[in-house]
Each structure stands twice: as structure tokens, then as C-alpha cells.
Amino acid sequence: MTAQERVGKKLGEILVRNGIITREQLERTLEYQRREGGLLGQILVKLGYVNERDIVQALTVQYGFPYLPLENYELAKESGKIIPENVARQYNIVPLDVIGNILTVAMSNPLNEKAIEDVEMITKKKVRVFISTVTAVSETLDKLYKPA
């Protein structure tokens, strides 16, 4: 599936098709989005129609990014040295591992191309992205960069 084909599948439609939300909930969410602005996934969570994991799993269908539940991931202490803390927190990105010239990361917004470009420039590595929930990324960053 090409990137263009993936983009053609809308998040709301994926959630309706998979029975996560109803068509009516999608319509209410879209109306809210038109009035208030914001990202569809965040609005769906705010309105209580879905949880973060539902959104992440739909995004894996929509864009093809693999999902990594960080709650179960064992991070090496050295991971915190790969990306400076301020950059990791700015982009909500967790450095996981480096193998050769490939840096594996988890992030809640894998569509943030600027984040990926900046991390590649800082680390001089090619970034491989996994998607995870906002909460899991935030909690993992707190553990990774906690004072010694």
C-alpha cells in the first residue's frame, strides 16, 4: 500500500468500520472539530468515545506505522543519551535503540516529519519509527530522563 493510499483512509472512517465508534459519534466529533479545532483523535479521546490505544491502533491501519506498547518495553539506561532530553520532550519521542546507522524511536505523532528530520540531523542516524500512546511516551520519557 502506498502512502497515498494510506492517507486516503480517514481515521474516523477506520474507527466506524471497526465498530469502535458509531457514525453519530463521528459526526458529533467532526462538528466539535469544526467549532473548536484540534486533532480528530484527541477530540475523540476528550469526548470519551475512545481511548488512546484505539486511536493508535487505527493510525497503524491508516499509515502503516507499527505499534509498540511502551508499558512493556525494557529501556536501556544509555537510551537517554541518544537524544537530548529537551528534544525528546519537545517532540514527544522516545529513543529506544541504535543498531548500526538506524535509531529506533517511539512517538505519539509519527507524522511529525520535522521531528524526525531534526532527530536524524542531531544523531546522524536514520530514524525508524514506532507509534505509541501520548501517555505511554510521556511516562517513558519521565522514567528515562529522571534525575539519577
- In the chain, CATH 3.30.300.160 covers 70-144
Residues 68, 73, 77: CA angle, nearest 5 degrees = 130
Please give the Cα distance from 11 to 26 (Å, whole number).
10
The reported pLDDT for the residue numbered 9 is: 66
The reported pLDDT for the residue numbered 106 is: 95
Pure H helices in the chain:
3-8, 11-17, 23-36, 40-46, 52-63, 85-91, 113-123, 134-144
Q: pLDDT tens-digit profile of 68-122?
A: 989 888 887 788 889 999 999 999 999 999 999 999 999 988 888 999 999 999 9
What does pLDDT average to over the chain? 88
Q: Are 121 and 113 in contact (CB under 8 A)?
A: no
- pTM of the predicted structure, to 2 decimals: 0.77
Please report which confidence band the pLDDT of residue 48 belongs to, taking 50, 70 and 90 as the band edges. Answer: very high
Question: Per-residue pLDDT for 23 more than 70?
Answer: yes
Q: Which CATH architecture has domain 70-144?
A: 2-Layer Sandwich (3.30)
Q: pLDDT tens-digit profile of 125-143?
A: 999 999 999 899 999 999 9
Backbone angles phi, psi at 39, to 5 degrees: -85, 135
Q: Are 26 and 14 in contact (CB under 8 A)?
A: no
